[in-house]
Amino acid sequence: MKIDLTPQLDFKNVLIRPKRTTLNSRSQVNIEREFKFAHSTETWTGVPIIAANMDTTGTFGVYDVLSQNKMITCLNKFYGLDDFKEAIKVRELNPEYFMISTGIQEASFSTLHDIVELTKAKWICVDVANGYMEQVITYCRKLRASFPNKIIVAGNVATREIVEELIINGKVDGVKVGIGPGSACLTRLKTGVGVPQLTAIIECADAAHGVGGFIIGDGGITCPGDMSKAFGGGADFVMCGGIFAGHDENPGKIVEEENKQGEKKSYKLFYGMSSEHAMTKHYGGMEKYRSSEGRLIKLPYRGPLINTVRDYLGGIRSTCTYINAKCIKNMPKCTTFLMVSQQINTHLV
């Protein structure tokens, strides 16, 4: 047993120190980035924000909104070939702005081939809760052999050594970073395992960049300021679930309930993909050898998704004007974190 006494930071533990700036307007900030990759021969340009591949957010409806803003939707792995055939009848799927999700089961490999061929997908996401399993490395190598030019990402992990292993030996281009920070995730409660998300991003970004790869900070975002902190900490992309849920474009009915004061409130359901709700929906129930590592949440109804998108993009631009970062790529080198005991005044909240 060992104890690491190094301070471990989450987004709530820091603020970003403002600096003298030559930027006079948020409109001067470029929030798009261009990427080249460690193994893929492709390039990519866009806004490096990704909707998580949960079945409430990794949907074609969310894609329709995010793609218009050059953001990526990681489509959930419960979409089959027939779903994609139907989807392309009513919309053009731009390969720049969606990812195809896959697990590591050999049985689904041929279906993945068919979906990638049909959609001309550019991005493939190997999505498992525990990216430390050796089978993940093996599967990623097989995926690279079959799709040598695709942009391949895998995760989730939260420490530097496995990031390097996935990029060097797994032949992936990017790694999803985050064990348990999501609002609908119970992994930390059920297992005691995790790394505070900002520290995980800082350490894993340093490791990935050292070997030519990139990271996706996955989870823990509660407000635009958190997203700016993730980018400031070195995340190349930020993936979010909860902030993109609860809107008109998300699946599910709007539910009305009365609170204790008799006021009617509107909600939509949001749940973790390791929750009993998700397991029952997609697999017919929870296996006896596992526990539910996700929660079911009633999110206040938020209206059109575009409003949230604009709020977050505006927040990032504003952060950049405070720290003299002319583009989102420059945020890490312009960021100084201050450890704090309080972020906001909640006296009248």
Strands 237-240 and 49-51: parallel
Stretch 18-29: mean pLDDT, rounded?
A: 95
SS3 348: coil
Domain 29-251+295-339, CATH number (from 3.30.70.580, 3.40.50.2020, 3.30.360.10, 3.20.20.70): 3.20.20.70
Closest CA to 122 of 82, 83, 95: 95
Residue pair 167/215 in contact (Cβ under 8 Å)? The answer is no
CA distance 211 to 42: 18
Buried b (16+ CB within 10 A) or exposed e, 254-291: eeeeeeeeeeeeebbbbbbbbbbbbbeeeeeebeeeee
Rg (CA), the chain: 20
Q: What is the pLDDT of residue 272?
A: 55
Q: What is the pLDDT of residue 290?
A: 53
Q: Is the dihedral of CA 132, 110, 50, 182 positive or negative?
A: negative
C-alpha neighbours within 13 Å on the C-beta side of residue 345: 2
Q: What is the pLDDT of residue 286?
A: 46
Stretch 302-321: mean pLDDT, rounded?
A: 97
Give pLDDT tens digits for 292-307: 555 677 888 999 999 9
Q: What is the pLDDT of residue 215?
A: 98
pTM, two decimal places: 0.92
- Residues 6+ away with beta carbon under 8 Å from 259: 265
SS3 287: coil
Q: What is the pLDDT of residue 221?
A: 97
Calculate the alpha carbon distances from 188 to 28, 176, 199, 220 in Å. 40, 17, 16, 13
Q: How confident is the model at residue 344 (pLDDT cuts 50, 70, 90)?
A: confident
CA distance 235 to 53: 18
Q: What is the pLDDT of residue 146?
A: 97
Q: What proportion of the chain, given as a percentage, has pLDDT over 90?
A: 77
User: How many degrees, rounded to 5, is the angle at CA 97 between CA 184 and CA 41?
Assistant: 115
DSSP 327: B
For residues 280 and 148, which has the higher predicted lDDT (pLDDT)? Answer: 148
Closest CA to 60 of 130, 135, 119: 119
Give pLDDT tens digits for 68-103: 999 999 999 999 999 999 999 999 999 999 999 999
C-alpha neighbours within 13 Å on the C-beta side of residue 247: 21
What residues are labeled active site? 185
CA distance 104 to 72: 22
Q: What is the pLDDT of residue 271?
A: 63
Give pLDDT tens digits for 247-290: 999 998 888 887 777 788 898 887 655 544 455 555 555 455 55
Query: In this model, does residue 67 exceed pLDDT 80?
Result: yes
Sort 30 into a burial class: Cβ within 10 Å, 0-12 / 13-18 / 19+: middle
